[in-house]
Structure formats: structure tokens, C-alpha cells
Amino acid sequence: MSQDIKISIVDREGKTHEVEAPTDMAMNLMEVCKAYELPVEGTCGGMAMCASCQCYVLSDSILPEKSDDEEAMLSEAYHVQENSRLGCQIHIAAEMDGLKIQLAPEEE
């Protein structure tokens, strides 16, 4: 049985989008943003190589640990904060229900 979780996404204009994401389709946060036509590029196709899907985690949701690739990419990205993550590296799971993120500013 498919379970959808609710995610709040604050876009670059400060508008909050309440979206639902399925936990049974192996989607990541970048793909969810794209599915709702939010301005996330995902230039590298989810390989943790571009940071165009960088977001800030605003809630205390349980997320997977950052991989070495994600850490390395964030160390080179712009606008990085302590709560920065790459959306492509966060795979949707039931524990994330109620997740709130904000899209990082676009790269210059």
C-alpha cells in the first residue's frame, strides 16, 4: 500500500507549497520538486555533482546521513548553510512526513 507523506517547500520567493510525495516510488526530493514544477534544475540528473537542487532543511525531520559525495559537492557550492542538503540525495521515506525545506538561492 502506497503511503504519501506531506512536505512543505518554501520557494525562492518565500511562498510555501504543501506537497505530497509517495514513499513507494524511490523518488528523491529533487524529483518531487520537479514534479510540482518548482524551480529546481537538477542539472546533473541527481548524481550529487552540481548543487542546483540545494535546499535548507527547516524541520527536525529524520533524514539520511550526508554521503561523502554530497559533503564534497556542498563544500564547493554557493549559499551553503549548516542545514544545507542536496535534494537529489534525500530519498523519500515515511519517516520524513512533515519535512519542511527551503530552496537555496540559484547559483550566480
Q: Which residue segments constitute the domains of the chain, with CATH numbers given?
A: 4-103 (3.10.20.30)
pLDDT of residue 1: 57
All three cell numbers of 106, joined, read 540559484
Nearest to 55 by CA among 22, 17, 23, 25: 17
Tell me the whole-structure pTM to 2 decimals. 0.93
All three cell numbers of 15, joined, read 511562498
Question: 10-residue block means of pLDDT along the chain (108 residues)?
Answer: 89 97 96 96 92 96 94 96 97 96 88
